[in-house]
Amino acid sequence: MSKRKSSSASDKPHKRVRPEEEEEDEQEEERGDGNVNHSDEEDDLLSKQMPIAGEVVSDAGIVESITLKNFMCHSLLGPFTFGPNVNFVVGNNGSGKSAVLTALIVALGGNAQATNRGLSLKGFVKQGESSADVSITLRNKGRDAYKPEVYGPAIIVDLRITREGLRTYKLRAKSGQLVSNKKEELLSILDNFNIQVNNPVSVLTQEMSKYFLHSKGEGDKYKFFMKATQLEQMREDYVYIKATKHVTEEKVQQHSECLKDLKRKYLEKEERYNSLASLDEMQTKLEELQKQMAWALVAELEKESKPMKEKLQSDRRETEKYDQKVDEWKKKVKEAEEKHKQIQEQLEGITQQVQELQPKSAELKAKVQRENTCLKSSEVTVHRCKANLRDLEKDKVQLSSRLKDLKLSISQTTGAESQARTERVQQIQAELEDLRHHISTLGQQVDQYRNASGGAKEEQGKMKREHDVLQRSIDANKRNLQTMESSRSNRLRRFGEHMPAFLNAIEDAHKRGKFKQRPRGPLGFLISLKDPELALAVEVCLKGQLQAFTCDNHEDEKVLQGLMARVFPHGRRPAIITSSFLQNVHDTRRRAVNHPEYPSVLQALEVEDPVVANCLIDQRNIESILLIKNRTEARRVMKGSNPPQNCSQAFSKEGDQVFTNRTYTAEQTRANYLSGDVEEEIRHLQREIENQTGQANRFQQHMRKLDEDIKQNDGLLRRTHLEQKSTIDKATKLQLELTDLENVEEPQSEDLKPLEEELQEIVSKISSKRVEYDVARAQMAEFKASYEKAEQEYKQHKEQINTVAEEADSIKEELNKTDQAVMKCKHHKKHYDEKRSEHLRSIQALEATLESKEQELQTSVAKATEISPERLEVRRTPKSLDSEISRLKVKIATQQEQQGDREEVIRQYKEALDNYNKMAQQMKHLNSFIKCLDNVMNHRLQVYSELRRFLSARCKYYFNSTLLQRGFTGSMTFDHKNETLSISVQPGQGNKADLSDMRTLSGGERSFSTVCFVLSLWAITEAPFRCLDEFDVYMDMVNRRISMDMLLKVAAGQRYRQFIFLTPQSMGSLPVSKIIRILRLKDPDRGNNDAQNGQEEDQ
């Protein structure tokens, strides 16, 4: 739990020393405060009670200013600037005094219950507002300043409370720079300044003061004393330490169990040393097992030969099945090629349609831009007319005011009734003119807000779609960047994060003999480029083959699929191409393209493994594909009258795929697998991600701004509608009243005619300018309608193009699928061709293997006869016999090692014994530490009792001293055992035997006694500022004056400390002093909750 630091009250309460320069200034101020008069006896008494102001200095932690916004029932209070010493916050009930104090408590970490103004923070937010803000500036000067190099001479604490009751802090330096937004930093600041807003001595609220005045329980007064002196916090700390000690004792008890385990291990080591076994029986058993092993191998070879003979007969019968499969796939290849040709022709038609729609799209876009330019120009004209109208209205108001003054002087001779009527007519005319202008302005605002809200919503939808597309691109680039960064140390990682582990698994399986031929792959890793500029072209050409693997037979394919399922548990897996491995590259001279200037894909690659080269030739026909760097040259070569012989297609270095009758643009812009410069690719991806992230952030900022604009415009639109309706009703009523008044003739003066004519001319100009303004608005509306119409046509045309493009994408996808289907059919046809050849070869290989097995069987029988001349009937397998022989050999070796090296057993035994002794010694030290802690705690508790007794005595002394200033006598009785505090007071000079409880006193006497008690607590506690809320509310004038004099004298003696007093009194009788500042709050306006600001007075 969080613990506040507390200074011991037995130390000197004022520990900060003021420099010499500031001490001289302080003494000069004391000499200048001659207006506050007190008796010599009071001065002597206070000199004993309070320390001299020159002894201390630091005023760090006092409140310099506070500002409230939407707090409680106030829209705006402040900013209030407080003086460094005495401050009076004066105002009637409801003016905001208690709101200032409540904001001070909440902003400096206090909870809602401590304010006695609400049960939760959300109750402090003004009705109808979403949040409340409080800003407090704390002084940060002197030797007790908190991080002055960071915050400067002042610390600004900004608090925001939301409607949901959430509280957020922002701690700023004097310059306004944000330093921290963590509450832990605020707690450190409060600890440094010793600010305790929950301590009633530092901040005594009205409710706490009233509770204390009317409290009948002596236990409550005692709790008040303990909390004010922080003795309660010390007691809680001691309780916490005692509980922690009990937990430590429990842990020591647990460690004692560990000590038993160490002893048990030590005994086990000793027993192991003493136990040794015989080896003769194990040696005999080993020889018997070796004989059984020899004849078990013979039986296993005989068993293996039998199924091989059966399989050879079965394979010879299955040759016809392979012939049927080859014919079946020949037919499927032909059907797939016909379907591919049909889809290709359909795609060419859609591509032509898109190209025909592009010119009109550009034309419509230019039209939208022209209409937008006209609209902007008309908006400038409207704003200019509006400004001219505003200037004329200002001239009209000035001239009307002058006419009104002249008519007032004339009307003095026409009688009181005529004068009142004339004034009323003028007032109504002025109000009507203002209302008409206001109604016109409101109409413009309604249109403006409605158009702004609709435009923002439309733009927001468009921005969201663009942001989604951009985010998908960012995610794809991040995945590519992660792959590229992983490939710095291992190029294999370009082909997938799991690829290195997959190749290791293949190598391990090959070593264990699971593959007849080791699979090759990924194919892209086993090839390299002669010209790096052709990397993108080769990648687009080979596509999925770059990540594919190739196997020699279907048995190997099944094993490879099992490894993939283990290494690639989720997501896409690399393709597997099954084709017989050959030692030499295919002879492609008859069907390969040979161009004098441009290489084929086969010629552009460096492939060391013939298996890889043959796989790419079979799957992609790379010997018949040209690579031409320039796309224009590629089209010229392929679409000319004489395309190169045996050339099926060509690729440019940008990845464009060029056929004799069509061209496809590549969607990929950079090579991912074959590029040579990894660092350049990483830098490119990082720049692209950075640019896209910045663009995404701008999108999000713009979308948030659009959200705010939409909410703001909708709210303004609703309020403007209501205001417009109420204004029209008001204008109608005034017009009726004006008609009645104008029916009465009024005497006119000839001197007013020039001014009235000038006024009429201005009114005429206003009407003319208003017509011009209306025309400009109408023209702007026409331009806007034209712009919206043009934009709608452009969007419809764009959507038409997108629809056609989406149709083309689906057809492209279907074309790719049919292309893959053609390749798949060819692959299967080739597979069964190879399968038939492989089947014939396997029959030949099986015959050879069977012959080899027969020879191996004869050799094994000869070896077994040498080991055991008589054949043994063995039922166990060679594997189980070998396992038992290995275990027996290990056991024999282990026993021999134990018998030969006894020192190791002795060493382990001694090590276990040392660990046991070490743990026992640690347990002894821990028990000693706990005992020492008990002694220390007992001593600290004794000191705590002495400190409590000392503070009680000081509190009694200061209480009696302050009571004597009015001639009161009293006593304080502390009962620390029962935790009670009894206070008795006798007004006037009387017998101490006549002392009575505070409950028998009058309200003023009780309030005065409370002030005395608070002053006595002030004397024994320390805080940078002290606040009292309506401390004199129950006092009569005499008690109030005496209490005020006491408080001012205490403040004069403590210039380093700040005092804030909240009172409904006017404080007009205060003496004139530089140290006193009065903040007067305006009276509350019950009908309107607008901002209320205080007025400051320095006395």
Is residue 562 pLDDT above 60, yes or no?
Answer: yes
Is 69 strand, coil or helix? strand
Residue 294: band (very low, low, confident or very high) from pLDDT cuts 50, 70, 90: confident
Which is more confident, 1011 or 182? 182
The rounded distance, in Å, linking the Cα atoms of 1053 and 1050 is 5
- pLDDT (0 to 100) of residue 1014: 80
Average pLDDT over residues 923-941: 83
Structure-model confidence comparison of residues 421 and 990, the more confident one? 421
Q: What is the mean pLDDT of residues 111-122?
A: 77
State the pLDDT confidence band at 239, using cuts at 50, 70 and 90.
confident
Q: Please report the pLDDT score of residue 180 as a whole number.
A: 92
Tokens of 1071: 């003496």
**Chain length of the chain:** 1099
pLDDT tens figures, 585-631: 898 888 899 888 899 999 999 988 999 999 999 888 899 999 998 88
Percent of the chain with pLDDT over 70: 83
pLDDT above 90 as % of the chain: 10
Residue 993 has pLDDT above 70, yes or no: no
Check: CB of residue 104 under 8 Å from CB of residue 203. Answer: yes
**What whole-number distance in Å separates Cα of residue 1079 and Cα of residue 877?**
104
In this predicted structure, the answer to whether residue 243 has a pLDDT above a threshold of 80 is yes
Distance CA 121, CA 231 (A): 29
Q: If you search the block for the tokens 């003086």, which residue do you land on? A: 83
Q: Return the higher-pLDDT residue of 321 and 900.
A: 321
- Give pLDDT, residue 177: 92
Sorted by sequence, the CB contacts under 8 Å of residue 196 that are 6+ apart come out as 4, 190, 202, 230, 1023
Inform me whether the pLDDT recorded for 1088 exceeds 70: no
Q: What is the DSSP string of 336-350?
A: HHHHHHHHHHHHHHH
- Both tokens of residue 826? 């060819």
Which residue is listed with tokens 């048990």?
Answer: 264
Exposed (0-12), middle (13-18) or buried (19+): which is 199, by Cβ within 10 Å?
A: buried
Distance of alpha carbon 168 from alpha carbon 159, whole angstroms: 6
pLDDT at residue 4, as a whole number: 40
What are the pLDDT digits (tens) for 1019-1051? 787 888 888 887 666 667 777 787 788 888 887
Q: 324-327: which pairs have CB atoms within 8 A and are 24 or more residues apart?
A: 325/832, 325/835, 326/829, 326/832, 326/833, 326/836
Q: State the Cα angle at 830 between 335 and 659, rounded to 5°.
A: 55
What is the three-class DSSP state of 1097? strand
> Using 50, 70 and 90 to split pLDDT, how confident is the model at 506?
very high
The one-letter code for the residue type at 402 is R
What is the arithmetic mean of pLDDT over 1078-1087? 76
DSSP letter at 12 equals -
Task: Indicate the range of 676-680, 728-732, 1052-1056 predicted with least confidence.
Answer: 676-680
Q: What is the dihedral of CA 935, 939, 942, 948, to 10 degrees?
A: -130
Average pLDDT estimate for 901-920 = 75
If you search the block for the tokens 């919503």, which residue do you land on? 457
Q: Is the pLDDT of residue 202 over 50?
A: yes
What is the model's pLDDT at position 16? 39
pLDDT at 484: 65
Closest CA relative to residue 220, chosen from 957, 954, 983, 1012: 983
- Kindly indicate the confidence band of residue 158, based on its pLDDT and cuts at 50, 70 and 90: very high
What is the rounded CA–CA span in Å between residue 5 and residue 237? 11
Query: How far is residue 1062's CA from residue 1047's CA, in Å, rounded to a whole number?
Result: 13
pLDDT at 920: 83
Token digits of residue 311: 């399989």
What pLDDT, on a 0 to 100 scale, did the predictor assign at position 751?
56
Q: How far is CA 730 from the centre of its chain?
A: 51
CA dihedral angle for residue 178, residue 183, residue 188, residue 192, rounded to 10 degrees = 80
Q: Over 778-827, what HEC string results?
A: HHHHHHHHHHHHHHHHHHHHHHHHHHHHHHHHHHHHHHHHHHHHHHHHHH
Q: Which of 9-18, 141-150, 770-779 has the lowest mean pLDDT?
A: 9-18
pLDDT band with cut points at 50, 70 and 90 for residue 24: very low
- Contact between residue 68 and residue 99 where contact means Cβ atoms under 8 Å apart: yes
The single-letter code of the amino acid at 327 is D
pLDDT band, very low/low/confident/very high, at 67 (cuts 50, 70, 90): very high
| pLDDT value of position 882 | 84
DSSP H or E stretch at residue 980: strand 980-986
Q: Measure CA 894 to chain center.
A: 61
Q: pTM value?
A: 0.40
Q: What is the pLDDT of residues 693-746, one digit of tens each?
A: 888 888 788 888 888 888 888 888 888 888 878 888 887 888 777 777 766 555
Instruction: Please provide the average confidence, as pLDDT, over all residues in the chain.
Output: 78
Res 519 pLDDT > 70:
yes
Using the predicted structure, report yes or no on whether residue 34 has a pLDDT greater than 50.
no
Contacts of 634 (CB under 8 A, 6+ apart): 626, 628, 650, 651, 652, 656, 658
Could you tell me the pLDDT band of residue 159, with boundaries at 50, 70 and 90?
very high
Answer for the pair 169, 198: CB distance below 8 angstroms, yes or no: no
Q: Is pLDDT at 902 greater than 60 in this prediction?
A: no
What is the torsional sign of CA 6, 8, 9, 14? negative
pLDDT at 1034: 65
pLDDT of residue 170 exceeding 90: yes
- Please check whether residue 1008 is in contact with residue 1044, taking contact to mean a CB–CB distance below 8 angstroms: no
User: Which two three-digit tokens encode residue 75?
Assistant: 């829209």
Rounded to an integer, the average pLDDT of 29-58 is 37
What is the per-residue pLDDT for 486?
Answer: 62
pLDDT, one tens digit per residue, over 861-897 is 888 888 878 787 887 888 888 888 888 788 777 766 6
Across 979-994, average pLDDT: 69
Provide the token pair at 754: 């020039």
Inter-residue contact 333 to 860 (CB < 8 Å): no
**pLDDT per position as a tens digit, 210-237:** 666 556 577 777 887 887 777 887 888 8
How confident is the model over 92-121, as a mean pLDDT?
A: 83
Identify the sign of the CA torsion 252, 258, 262, 264.
Answer: positive
**546 within 8 A of 673, measured Cβ to Cβ:** yes
pLDDT computed for residue 280 by the predictor: 52
Q: Is the pLDDT reported for residue 943 higher than 80?
A: yes
